[in-house]
Structure 1
């Protein structure tokens, strides 16, 4: 057996009659679409129902699966505790997922009672699972559940994990349906819960068009900055769901899209046919490798110096500044080296003022610190080098300011001081849209709790990639 159906479901709790009440009128299009999706899903008669949520226990390096024979959940946090679920879980399927994932070098964490206690997790079904499940159970679908929480893994790994779900279904001779639970942009209008960003509409239009035409590769070409500005929670579940359909020709249908309350809700159905097509997995990994190679080939000399420093350190070698210093390397300034791996921060350490003879030596020192001594991360290993993207920020001299109104999170970084505590935040960071956010994060980094006797400084950076 194999995958028999896949779908995308939004998960606003107000879709539930006992919660939404009059507000449900504003999501009537989504309500009707979910009823159609539930009907199509039920007709496919799956043996196992897999729902992928973004709202369970999310790990940076793993995919989490609740691992109990019976799972419960309710909408108590939304004022409707009497709307509840008691669900049978397919432990055989989950155990085989974990085993196969381990063989394919994808980390899966099974969340039993012990693990839930260890990570301080309730171990109950979250609303990302329960909202679509409400509609499916109303239509009489009684297949056992496999609730999966997306991880912050690279998109290609998530897609490969999705393909792995279908591989497990074939091995166990079980028909599966895979549902991605996720909302699109949370920033469509000024009333949106995450604030307004004009790029939210752009993201939603792109994603809906790609799903309608079933252009899977297009999702991997999305600009990371656009994704961040959209403030979405559905892309990763969608990618896992699409991975489950890998190697099959698919009939796709976007049943509905609407954006009430400033949040994009899309309902879509994907029905696999019997016709097999080439897998996209190798192609997606090759495109990622080529993209990273292209970035490395265009790196600024300061960034190349940081990368070479990291590579040399892994070999036990010291790095010296180039014999011929570029103009940027000759000056004295504070420098931050930031390292990312597949869009996720991997290390960032720097100096607010010069501590070395020149910027070149500043980069060498801070590249080693960011790669190997950032206390938030394990030291970088040799096999990660080609997966890393690096940026170098050269700081201007900080200037004191009297008011938060003199800040601009895109143009200026901020330094917050209180006594001997100092917190710094660089400018133009993903997800930082207001001076208030900027200052609050800098305070948190410094361990500053109150606003008493706070001093603010701003600075500019020249960012090199």
Structure 2
């Protein structure tokens, strides 16, 4: 009996030694491939590419960090794509991915020390020197705990997206066992000191609220979105601590914000928010997903043309649109406005676009310059809020969360040669028989399309085959707009 006990002890000790000594000798397998996301290279590449093609992300400035969700790709992949499109084809020396621990309880944060990560898309080498430097900054809080990484999906789920959008890079994978403010501050300071001299991208992996109704989820998640948009890590921690909101990766988000601020980021931009209900159609119990970026503000790519509207005139037109939307959503009459600037009385075509947390919520336009601009703006604002057939009517609860964009159109002209089309300046109209489709100038820049892709997507908008623009009897028109 004694011999058996000694044998078991030896085996158990050996297993522990193997676990402890797995650092820097093997590549970490991606155990969720084939279940949480496609397990075959071809299928995975195609899945991610479709997500990226459908993501509208317009970023002006240098991106230091991202927030990306970590559910299965069928649920959160389309939202994650909005974050990763912000760094498409960018170059970074290292990517530091920070996720929460879902399976193993421990104090502090664990920095993976295996050799690298293996996914269906290939191998990402870990930057072991950087990992060691981070740990050495505070080895009481920052360690390597193999069990923290063995089953954790929150970090793994980010890697195939990174392999798709970035050029060559090394990574550091960090799993947080505790997410109190002290741990966030210790980890953020260690990362900042360790990365000096390197160009680094931070990825905070987190879902938001879990298993509430859609209405409750949006109320909770708006508290996270508000704190993130204000670039206020302490405010987010306070709200998470008093249960005003939920985020399983709240610690990673706060840590990434703290590091990004020290690196020079001066703002956060919300790129997309949605819930699992948008995929499943079941809004009784949903999970919230957020995509966002931390960046240093830069000059935005110019879209459209300048039609000479003053800031006062643009503000007045936006006021007309917003007050009209607020009135009609509340069941009131369209308001009358006085002191209309003369330029707003001139005839222009116009589109009114309503967005909510990066999501299109309504967009209706009138392309003909056949009545005063402010009147067309009122009519299109009402239609975008209540009559866009793609969406349910805007509700009163949504009003504080809406962003309004106005596009005042130039006259359209027939395109004789597609070389005339300029991305960023032109919008497109394609007509063939009874079919017609229009896309505004900003759409091509937000999706990152070239001229051919712009033509193809406008054909699709018209309900035509993607290559219908090549046919002789297809009419192509271009126009521009002042967008504000």
TM-score (ref. length: structure 2): 0.45
